[in-house]
Amino acid sequence: MLKRTITLLGLTITVGALLLTLGCGGSNSNPVVPVSSDQPLISRGGQPPSEPEIRIGATIWGYKYVGVRAVDPEGNRLKYKIVLQGPVTLVFDQSQGTGQWYTSPWSNTPVSDFASGQWGFVKLFNIPSGSYTISVQAFDGTSWSSNKSLSFNF
């Protein structure tokens, strides 16, 4: 009975991790439209990314993380910026090459940018407990999204 419970728990964690990483399916939000080489390419251009979403948590290994996600109307790749202000101030800005960014909180392979709509995470090691203001933005190579902030206690 215990072996079956442990096996089911392991499968549940694996399926949950896959759903978090790969999503639950659905329509393609960035379809590629064929364009003839003799037709000009029309772009909406210049629209900033959407206001970012923020995800805050801790892994089973005990470190804290902050995640950010935004969508670019043109489907451009995004770079994210997170500023934590509290007992210490930390800045993780991909547009300036600061901080290690990952596609999941448990990943060990840093990335330099993200697809439109993809979550980006930074790990917070040895951060002191206290009250923080967390501000996030997304950058599509041309313009920044609006700033999204919230207060949180670690």
Which residue numbers in the chain have pLDDT < 50? 5, 7-9, 11-12, 14-43
Identify the pLDDT of residue 31.
44
Pair 120, 102: CB distance under 8 Å: yes
Pair 102, 119: CB distance under 8 Å: no
The 3-state DSSP class for residue 15 equals helix
For the segment 97-119, what is each residue's pLDDT rounded down to a tens digit?
999 999 999 999 999 999 999 99
Identify the pLDDT of residue 3.
54
Identify the pLDDT of residue 13.
54
The token duo for 70 is 């935004």
pTM above 0.85, yes or no: no
**CA neighbor of 100 nearest in space, from 77, 78, 82:** 82
Torsion of CA 105, 106, 112, 118, to 10 degrees: -50
In order of their start, the domains of the chain are 48-154 (2.60.40.10)
